[in-house]
Amino acid sequence: MGNLAIFVKLLFALSVAAFIFLALFSVIKQKVGDRTQIQKRMLGIENMNVNLRRPSVVQSMMEQQERERKRARKLEDTPFVERVILPMRKNIEAFLLRFTSGYIRTSIEHQLMLAGRPARGHAGQFVLKMAVCAVIVGGLLFYALSQKHGMPMPQKMAIFALGTVGGLMFPLLVLRSQIRKRQAAIKKQLPEVLDLLCVSVQAGLSFDAALRKIVVRMGGPFVAECRKMLDDVRMGMTRRDALLGVGYRCGVQEVSLFVTSIIQAERLGSNLSNTLSIQADNVRERHRQWVKAMALKAPVKIVLPLVGFILPAIFIVALGPAMFNVAKNLFK
C-alpha cells in the first residue's frame, strides 16, 4: 500500500505539473509570441526595403553583417520561450508523433484543415493536447478512486481506463464541433457570395476580378478560402487546382458542386454568367431546404428541456399550494 500511495501521489503531481505547464505556456505564448512575430515581420519588411533601395554589393555586405551579428548573439539575449519552452515542446511533439500511425496523423491534419487551421505543423500540437488531457483526466480519476478502499481493483482499473480514453477523445470532440460550426457558416455564406458573383460577372467583370472585389469587402470562412484561392492563382497554380483546393478545404457538398460547375464551364467554354446564375439559384434552394429541415428538428430538440425543466416548474406552481394544504391537514 505504501508503494501504491507513492505512485498515486507521483501521478497526481505529474498531472498537476502538466496542467500548470500548459497554462503558463499559453500565457507566455500569448504575451511574448505575438510580439516576437510582429518584430520578425517588421524586420523582414525593413530588410525588403533595404534590398530594394541598395545596390547588390551593399546588400551582400549588409547580409554578411547580419549573419555575423546573429552568429555573435549571446545565449542570454535569446527569449526564454525560444530558448527553453519551444524546443521542449517540439521534442515532446516529435516523440509522440513517433508512436502515431500515418493514417491517424493524416486524419488529424485533414480535420484541422476542415476546422480552418493549416494542417502543417499542427498535428504534433494536437497529439500533445490529446496526451495531456488523457494524463490529467486519468490521473485525477486514479487519485479519486484510490481514496475508495471498498471498490475492487479491477473495477478501479476499468474506470481509470475509461477516463483516460475520455480525456484522449475530448480534443477530438472539440475539433469535430469546430468543423461543424465552420461548415454551417460556409453553407450560410455561400448563397450570398454566389449572388454577388453572378451580379458582378453579368455586369462585365471577369471571374477573378469579381471574386477579388468580394474578398476585399467581405469576411468569413468561405471568403477566406476564396482569398487563398486567389493567392494560389497569383503564385502560379492553375485555376482548376486552386478551385479543387477550395472544395477540399471546405468539405461542403454545395461548395464542391459550385467548384465542379465552374471547372466544367471553363473546360467546355460555356457562358460563365449563366452557370453562376444556375448555381446561385440551386444553392439558394438547397439552403432554403436546409433551413426548413433545421426548423422541423426544433420540436424534437425541445422535448428534453420541456420534460426536464418546464413541466416540473408547472407542476410545482400548479400543485404546490394543494400539496401544502394536504400536508397541513394530515399533520394537523
Q: What is the mean pLDDT of each run of 10 residues along the chain (332 residues)?
A: 57 59 56 50 51 46 62 58 72 75 81 75 78 82 74 77 83 90 90 88 86 88 90 88 88 87 85 85 84 84 80 79 76 64
| CATH code for the structural domain at 183-295 | 1.20.81.30
Q: Using only the alpha carbons of the chain, give its radius of gyration.
A: 29
Residue 52: per-residue pLDDT: 39
Residue ranges per structural domain of the chain: 2-56+77-151, 183-295
Phi and psi at 219, nearest 5°, equal -140, 170
SS3 content of the chain, % helix, strand, coil (to 5): 85, 0, 15
DSSP code at position 204: T
262 touches 241 (CB < 8 A): no
Task: Please give the C-alpha separations between residue 319 and each of 204, 268, 324, 327, in angstroms, as whole numbers.
Answer: 71, 73, 9, 12
Q: Which residues contact 227 (CB under 8 A, 6 or more apart)?
A: 215
The alpha carbon of residue 299 and the mean position of all alpha carbons in its chain are separated, in whole angstroms, by 31
